[in-house]
């Protein structure tokens, strides 16, 4: 809160979703991993095959959060709301784990 109150520009609280890239030897391996990821709740997961035949499986979470807190140095939300957002972000981190 101390740093936020001293800010002179725009401040955004941002929580990025979990992403794990796995290089797979065979397409079947990537498909199996993709099925496991989807069944585990990682709905944004996908498979990419590069020009050289490199097969990459990306396990991606949907847990993201981006909330503006201040604009041009003016705090736009209450301290109570910031505490709530931190709690939500921490819950999302636990879900990633």
Same domain flag for 72 and 87: yes
Same domain flag for 22 and 56: yes
Same domain flag for 33 and 45: yes
Same domain flag for 48 and 78: no
Same domain flag for 88 and 72: yes
Q: What pLDDT does residue 79 have?
A: 93
Residue 97 has pLDDT above 90, yes or no: no
Same domain flag for 55 and 67: no
* CB of 61 closer than 8 Å to CB of 44: yes
Residue 54 has pLDDT above 90, yes or no: yes
Tell me what the mean pLDDT of segment 69-96 comes to. Answer: 92
Number of domains comprising the chain: 2
Same domain flag for 71 and 57: no
Enclosing domain of residue 74: 1-16+63-96
């Amino acid at each position: 809160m101390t740093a936020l109150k001293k800010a002179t520009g725009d401040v955004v609280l941002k929580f990025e979703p979990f992403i794990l890239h796995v290089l797979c030897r065979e397409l079947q391996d990537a498909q199996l991993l993709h099925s496991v990821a989807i069944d585990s709740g990682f709905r944004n997961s996908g498979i990419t095959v590069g020009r050289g035949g490199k097969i990459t499986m990306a396990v991606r979470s949907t847990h993201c959060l981006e909330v503006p807190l201040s604009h041009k140095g003016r705090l736009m939300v209450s301290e109570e709301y910031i505490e709530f957002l931190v709690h939500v972000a921490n819950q999302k981190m636990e879900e990633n784990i």
